[in-house]
């Protein structure tokens, strides 16, 4: 059976980490993206096929249930929330399951197995063109190719991001949330509101910062567990 492609729509970094860790332990799941709000996820879904969405209810800009009502082709959905009162509305929208935080792994397995049973087995597909080791970024009216293996870190500069690689730096007009959605979660981690780093490029770290290529990058207070559990 080919893996179920799934995304996480969740604005709490620690909740994202828990779900990502659980997904990594399930052989038939493949995490293809994480999004801090439903608007960014909507843009992603226009160009990518997804089998399963892990969806928080309380999201910035567009709430989870409102987001579901905007989708014309609804994949399997597992709602993740701390509020039980939305369960009836969720099931009315044909969600597969409803997980209350904090989510235990055994309960997570029950939910994803429901999705697996509902999806017929298919033969492994040829390598997808979406699986790649680079991205193209808009830089001064050009599309510039950036290899994941070259990327050191990304720094937010208001409505722009600075992309630092082993060769040079680029500035592109996009948000850190947007570029985070394009980077593989297994290779890149957000460690601060303004910084995303390449895990393999971290030379050392303390409780307050990581060092990459001689550059010290701060760790945000809410992101320390992410670094400790790399």
Are 167 and 150 within 8 A, CB to CB?
yes
* Strand-pair category, 160-165 with 169-172: antiparallel
Q: According to the model, what pLDDT value does residue 146 have?
A: 92
Q: According to the model, what pLDDT value does residue 130 have?
A: 44
Question: pLDDT of 8-29, one tens digit each?
Answer: 999 999 999 999 999 999 999 9
Question: pLDDT of 37-63, one tens digit each?
Answer: 999 999 898 888 999 999 998 888 888
- Cβ atoms within 10 A of the Cβ of 63, count? 16
Q: According to the model, what pLDDT value does residue 126 have?
A: 41
How far is CA 190 from each of CA 2, 19, 28, 147, 210, rounded to the nearest angstrom?
Answer: 29, 15, 26, 18, 12
Q: Do domains 4-118 and 134-228 have the same CATH topology?
A: no
Query: Which two structure tokens, joined as six digits, stand for 13?
Result: 């970094």
Fold of the 4-118 domain: Rossmann fold (3.40.50)
Question: pLDDT of 191-208, one tens digit each?
Answer: 999 999 999 999 999 989
- Cβ atoms within 10 A of the Cβ of 133, count? 10
φ, ψ at 28 (rounded to 5°): -95, 10
The C-alpha angle with vertex 9 and arms to 194 and 133, in degrees rounded to 5, equals 65
Q: According to the model, what pLDDT value does residue 150 have?
A: 94
Q: Mean pLDDT of all residues in the chain?
A: 85
Class in CATH terms, 134-228 = mainly beta
- Cβ atoms within 10 A of the Cβ of 118, count? 11
Query: Which two structure tokens, joined as six digits, stand for 209?
Result: 């910062």
Distance CA 90, CA 93 (A): 5
Distance CA 162, CA 139 (A): 10
Question: pLDDT of 150-180, one tens digit each?
Answer: 999 999 998 899 999 999 999 999 888 888 8
Are 137 and 143 within 8 A, CB to CB?
yes
Q: Look at residue 115 and tell me whether its pLDDT is greater than 80.
A: yes
- Cβ atoms within 10 A of the Cβ of 85, count? 8
Domain boundaries, the chain: 4-118, 134-228
Distance CA 199, CA 217 (A): 13
Half-sphere exposure of 14 (CA within 13 A, CB side): 10
Q: According to the model, what pLDDT value does residue 168 have?
A: 93
Distance CA 152, CA 21 (A): 23
């Amino acid at each position: 059976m080919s893996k179920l492609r799934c995304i996480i729509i969740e604005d709490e970094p620690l909740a994202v980490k828990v779900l990502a860790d659980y997904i990594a332990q399930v052989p038939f799941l493949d995490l293809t993206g994480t999004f801090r709000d439903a608007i960014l996820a909507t843009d992603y879904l226009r160009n990518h096929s997804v089998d399963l969405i892990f969806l928080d209810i309380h999201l910035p800009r567009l709430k989870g249930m409102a987001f579901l009502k905007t989708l014309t082709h609804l994949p399997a959905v597992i709602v993740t929330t701390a509020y039980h009162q939305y369960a009836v509305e969720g099931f009315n929208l044909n969600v597969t399951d409803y997980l209350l935080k904090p989510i235990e792994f055994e309960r997570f397995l029950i939910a994803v197995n429901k999705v697996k049973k509902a999806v017929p087995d298919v033969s492994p597909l040829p390598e997808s063109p979406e699986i790649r080791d680079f991205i193209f970024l808009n830089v001064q009216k050009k599309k510039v190719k950036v290899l994941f293996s070259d990327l050191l870190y990304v720094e937010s500069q208001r409505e722009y991001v600075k992309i630092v690689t082993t060769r040079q730096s680029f500035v592109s007009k996009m948000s850190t949330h947007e570029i985070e959605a394009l980077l593989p979660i297994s290779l890149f981690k957000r460690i601060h509101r303004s910084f995303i780093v390449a895990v393999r490029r971290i030379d050392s770290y303390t409780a307050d910062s990581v060092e990459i290529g001689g550059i010290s990058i701060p760790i945000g207070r809410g992101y320390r567990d992410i670094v400790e559990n790399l």
